[in-house]
Structure 1
């Protein structure tokens, strides 16, 4: 359970520092079918680089950089 979720249950609202972001990270997507490519597109929209792995490497997928 996250720190903020615990605080919510305790009715406390204290800042516990900076939230993490995927911006600038590299995300590996194993399986780039409909669900995987949609997930990759969401990650790209948040600033991540995406790597995709699939059985047939000749086929492309939405949201995958490499």
Structure 2
């Protein structure tokens, strides 16, 4: 006997995207590779296996730039 279940995919909630994603993020002294501004918002996430270091994501604090980069 085989029972099939149709799974319904839930809609993803984009918590780290959009204009306000870094609104309350902490700031740090980091130089933007694009405009060379000296301050950036940052957040850290574990995106690889647990024995690997966390990945740090940055967004330039310069409102004209808003460039995003990461540091593995």
TM-score, scaled relative to structure 1: 0.26
**Structure with greater proportional strand content:** 2
TM-score, scaled relative to structure 2: 0.25
**Structure with greater proportional helix content:** 1
Q: Give the number of the structure whose alpha-carbon radius of gyration is greater.
A: 2
